[in-house]
Amino acid sequence: MEDTIKIGLCGLGTVGSGVFELLQENADLIRNRIGRNIIVSRVATLDRYDNLGLDLSKTQVSDSVDDILRDPEINIVVELIGGKTIAKKIVLESLQKGKSAVTANKALLAEYTEEIFQAAYRSKGNLGFEASVAGGIPIVRSIKQGFSGDRIDKFMGIVNGTANYILSAMSSEGVDFDQALNDAQKKGYAEADPTFDIEGIDAAHKVIILMALSFNGLFDFSQLYVEGITGIESIDIAIAEESGYAIKLLGCAARTENGYEGKVCPALVDKKNMLAAVTGAFNAVSIWGNFVGETLSYGAGAGSHPTASAVVSDIIETARLMIAGMDNPVPPLNTGIDALTRQDILPMSETESEYYLRIASDNAETSVDDILKILGDAAINLKSMEQKSGSGDLSLQKYLILFTEKSNEEQMQSAIQKLNTLSVVAKPVKMIRVEH
């Protein structure tokens, strides 16, 4: 094998330029670690690159990914262009040709799970996707290697930096939603379409990948319950704070007696839980294994350098496999292909949670009995009930704040519909799940 491993980089945006920079800046260190040079011999990009401050003198730049795919000297193809059309072609064609593919593309992996992973299992190449979940946190490698002896029963994580940045800024600085989103976009955290961040879709892509790794199955993205943070109001953040909780966009999944639960939704997290202290664009994932118990991984979940760190870790892993001369690399998921099965996600109506309910009522005192009757009829037990007043413009508004015991989601949804028909309930009831 030659002294130099040549890679092809598709995309020179936020993450692509970070990868280029890292490989140049840490070139000596990487050479010491693996005994080879890794160089970016080709880049494919449609964007301007002369203003990025990168030394591209030893790199051939073109606007066609085919130049990379056709180059027999390139054995590692890095897909960082995003989207699902050309990106899919790059990953599939690389794997079909026996090249290794490294991608940060969670949408591609989550929406074409079966096609991509089947191709990866059949390929002599490696598929690296560390950067697809939780940016710089090596969570994929933790599950595949660190917890490879454990049965993973549950995970719960903050896996979208932009949403966490927005919720944190709304809570600590009192800025409004739009300003916080704008800041996150300027810092390069947000997706090309920020709807993916604020509507929970980006987090959902990551949850599907984590479920595949954790539960040894292929899950259907369309079965996952997804709710974003656009309905979170400052009043809920303030009341949650007073009650000892932070509001976070969580991705959660669990193995239960009835099947696999999976969801993305805003949730109240007890401030004693370390996830509540994860602010800004940081991510954190708690994983429960049957022997290791509860673990927590924390780090930067978005941005050029942290994500580049994850991409390069896959490049180095692949380079090490090549140096070792492995024909059949480690399976891309946490299982051999024979044990890999398609699994369903339980419908949300069959799951259980604890709930926070904010009921706006001009006349809360007299309406409590009606409210309690509806909840009682739905077998929803309360942990606490408190009356609060709004502040500022809402100072005349009275709220009844309820925290429930674990209850069935379908019963809860139907109780909320009934509560909303009560004449004393001034506005639709606000429900946010409480997760532990």
The residues that touch ligand HSE, with contacts defined as CB under 6 A, are 135, 160-162, 189-191, 197, 202, 301-302
The b/e string for 133-162 (b: 16+ C-beta within 10 A; e otherwise) is bbbbbbbbbbbbebbeebebebbbbbbbbb
In the complex, the smallest distance separating the C-beta of residue 282 from ligand HSE, rounded to whole angstroms, is 10
Nearer to ligand HSE, 160 or 353 (CB): 160
Nearer to ligand HSE, 191 or 409 (CB): 191
The question of whether 206 is a catalytic residue gets the answer yes
What burial class does residue 266 get, using C-beta atoms within 10 Å of its C-beta: 0-12 exposed, 13-18 middle, 19+ buried?
buried
Tokens of 205: 């892509």
- CA distances to 172, 234, 313 from 180, rounded to whole Å, are 11, 13, 31
What burial class does residue 32 get, using C-beta atoms within 10 Å of its C-beta: 0-12 exposed, 13-18 middle, 19+ buried?
exposed
In the complex, the smallest distance separating the C-beta of residue 281 from ligand HSE, rounded to whole angstroms, is 6
Q: Which pairs with CB-CB distance under 8 Å and at least 24 residues apart come from 182-187?
A: 184/281, 187/281, 187/303
β-bridge partners, 294: 288
Nearer to ligand HSE, 125 or 301 (CB): 301
> Which residues are CB-contacts of 417 (< 8 A; sequence separation ≥ 6)?
none
- CA distances to 139, 180, 186, 250, 396 from 237, rounded to whole Å, are 29, 15, 24, 15, 19
Whether the CA torsion 15, 301, 78, 220 is positive or negative: it is: negative
Nearer to ligand HSE, 82 or 329 (CB): 82
Nearer to ligand HSE, 43 or 201 (CB): 201
The secondary structure of 332-370 as a DSSP string is SSSS-GGG-EEEPBPPGGG-EEEEEEEEEETTHHHHHHH
In the complex, the smallest distance separating the C-beta of residue 228 from ligand HSE, rounded to whole angstroms, is 12
How, if at all, do strands 430-435 and 352-361 pair? Answer: antiparallel
Catalytically annotated residue among 106, 206, 248, 398: 206
Angle between helices 409-421 and 364-377 in degrees, nearest 10: 140
Nearer to ligand HSE, 190 or 415 (CB): 190
Whether the CA torsion 132, 137, 138, 140 is positive or negative: it is: negative
In the complex, the smallest distance separating the C-beta of residue 297 from ligand HSE, rounded to whole angstroms, is 15
In the complex, the smallest distance separating the C-beta of residue 131 from ligand HSE, rounded to whole angstroms, is 8
The secondary structure of 107-159 as a DSSP string is HHHHHSHHHHHHHHHH-SS-EE-GGGSSTTS-HHHIIIIITTTSPEEEEEEE-
In the complex, the smallest distance separating the C-beta of residue 195 from ligand HSE, rounded to whole angstroms, is 11
In the complex, the smallest distance separating the C-beta of residue 109 from ligand HSE, rounded to whole angstroms, is 12
In the complex, the smallest distance separating the C-beta of residue 103 from ligand HSE, rounded to whole angstroms, is 12
Nearer to ligand HSE, 161 or 200 (CB): 161
The b/e string for 330-360 (b: 16+ C-beta within 10 A; e otherwise) is ebbbbbeeeebeebebbebeebebbbbbbbb
Nearer to ligand HSE, 169 or 302 (CB): 302
One-letter amino acid for residue 80 of the chain = L
How, if at all, do strands 293-300 and 282-289 pair? Answer: antiparallel
Q: Which residues are catalytic?
A: 206
